[in-house]
């Protein structure tokens, strides 16, 4: 019996794209429909829904399941979306959350923005979405146009998944220098130490740095700031070549896109402690190297820059975790569960 997937065209495309790809892989393009009227019983004016979640309905015969994918950085749950859905799949769930109190709630791994069609197909899709919503997007026309443009710059999932050998002696890291409290206390200092240590080692050729999107670089970060704004294709290619990478929870202590990208690329990962739930095993020394202070970070960098066997083991672990838990189709299998 044919499965029909109905999506709200008002979903935030860069964040919804990863899950849209999973639905395409699972059910095929012809099974996907778009409709605003199918979601009249969900008040999308509440809880900043555009930046908080995407919604869709999967139907087969008399069976129907309403799905929410919550991709927001915070651990908050949209009360309106939770009321509406049958399954509430969320990336950032606090480890202290009592899951038994939220029977619809399931944990999913971090995704990231991907281009799901050709350049022409992406542009045509953006126009079609505007027509479907009668040129009344939730977050305004500018945001809608910008997000369509942003999708043109993203690689396809196949580009992320292609096996690429890291370059011995080369390390790349470029990221935002945040002004948010928790990032100023933890994220920025860890990233700065990572960059300083890599720069100090004669066996490592480091490229990148911290980037301040607005205002001046604080004096304490001038030595790790990047004078170059990397275009996305440069960021992507350089990260693929990097011997190893660093993951740090960022705004709201969230799982960022970087973690999902690193797993898809099959990178050896150094990480500060994970703040939120993950639906897969992520063990220190087996799947990644966890560091709790700057001294441990320096030690981890030294280990991965000299121990090729350990680095290759962590790379293989990342690829296996991505394939089994984090790929678009693996996430959709988890979300739809016994409906399949």
Return d(Cα 116, Cα 201) in angstroms, integer.
Answer: 40
The 3-state DSSP class for residue 183 equals helix
Give the number of residues written for the chain: 340
Which of 57, 63, 61 is CA-nearest to residue 8?
A: 57
Contacts of range 68-74, beta carbons closer than 8 Å, 24 or more positions apart: 69/16, 69/19, 69/108, 69/335, 71/12, 71/15, 71/16, 71/111, 73/250, 73/251, 73/252, 73/254, 73/256, 74/252, 74/254
Return d(Cα 172, Cα 237) in angstroms, integer.
Answer: 10
Which of 303, 292, 305 is CA-nearest to residue 167?
A: 305
Q: What is the DSSP letter of 138?
A: T
The 3-state DSSP class for residue 39 equals helix
Which of 115, 178, 176 is CA-nearest to residue 147?
A: 115
pLDDT average per 10 residues of sequence, the chain (340 residues): 93 94 96 96 86 95 95 94 97 94 97 95 91 86 89 94 90 88 82 93 94 83 91 95 92 86 97 92 93 91 94 96 97 90
| Residue-level pLDDT at 133 | 87
Question: If you search the block for the tokens 């008399």, which residue do you land on?
Answer: 62
**Bridging pattern class, strands 170-176 and 205-211:** parallel
| Residue-level pLDDT at 249 | 82
| Residue-level pLDDT at 163 | 83
The 3-state DSSP class for residue 101 equals helix
Return d(Cα 333, Cα 297) in angstroms, integer.
Answer: 36
Radius of gyration of the chain, Cα coordinates, nearest whole angstrom:
20
Contact 264, 322 (CB under 8 A): yes
**Chain centroid to CA 6: how far?**
23
Helix (H) or strand (E) holding 193: helix 188-200
Which of 127, 113, 150, 77 is CA-nearest to residue 260?
A: 113
The 3-state DSSP class for residue 293 equals coil
Which pair of structure tokens corresponds to residue 34? 């778009």
């Amino acid at each position: 019996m044919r499965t029909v997937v109905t999506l709200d065209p008002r979903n935030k495309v860069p964040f919804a794209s990863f899950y849209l790809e999973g639905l395409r892989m699972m059910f095929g393009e012809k099974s996907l429909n778009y409709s605003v009227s199918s979601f009249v019983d969900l008040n999308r004016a509440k809880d900043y829904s555009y930046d908080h979640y995407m919604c869709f309905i999967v139907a087969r015969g008399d069976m129907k399941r309403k799905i929410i994918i919550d991709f927001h950085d915070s651990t908050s749950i949209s009360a309106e979306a939770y009321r509406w859905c049958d399954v509430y799949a969320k990336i950032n769930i606090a480890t202290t959350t009592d899951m038994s109190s939220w029977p619809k709630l399931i944990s999913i791994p971090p995704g990231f923005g991907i281009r799901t069609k050709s350049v022409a197909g992406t542009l045509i899709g953006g126009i079609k979405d505007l027509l479907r919503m009668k040129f009344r997007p939730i977050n305004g026309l500018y945001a809608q146009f910008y997000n369509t443009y942003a999708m043109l710059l993203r690689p396809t999932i196949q580009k992320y998944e292609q096996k690429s050998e890291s370059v011995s002696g080369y390390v790349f890291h470029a990221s935002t220098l945040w002004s948010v409290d928790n990032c100023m206390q933890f994220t920025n200092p860890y990233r700065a130490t990572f960059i300083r240590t890599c720069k100090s080692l004669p066996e490592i050729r480091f490229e990148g740095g911290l980037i301040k999107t607005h205002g001046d670089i604080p004096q304490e970060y001038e030595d790790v700031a990047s004078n170059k704004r990397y275009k996305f294709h440069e960021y992507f290619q350089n990260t693929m070549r990097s011997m190893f990478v660093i993951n740090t929870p960022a705004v709201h202590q969230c799982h960022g896109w970087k973690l999902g990208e690193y797993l898809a690329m099959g990178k050896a990962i150094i990480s500060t402690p994970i703040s939120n739930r993950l639906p897969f095993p992520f063990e220190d020394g087996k799947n990644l190297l966890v560091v709790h202070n700057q001294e441990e970070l320096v030690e981890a960098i030294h280990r991965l820059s000299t121990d090729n066997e350990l680095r290759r083991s962590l790379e293989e672990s990342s690829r296996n975790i991505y394939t089994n838990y984090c790929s678009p189709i693996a996430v959709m299998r988890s979300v739809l569960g016994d409906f399949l």
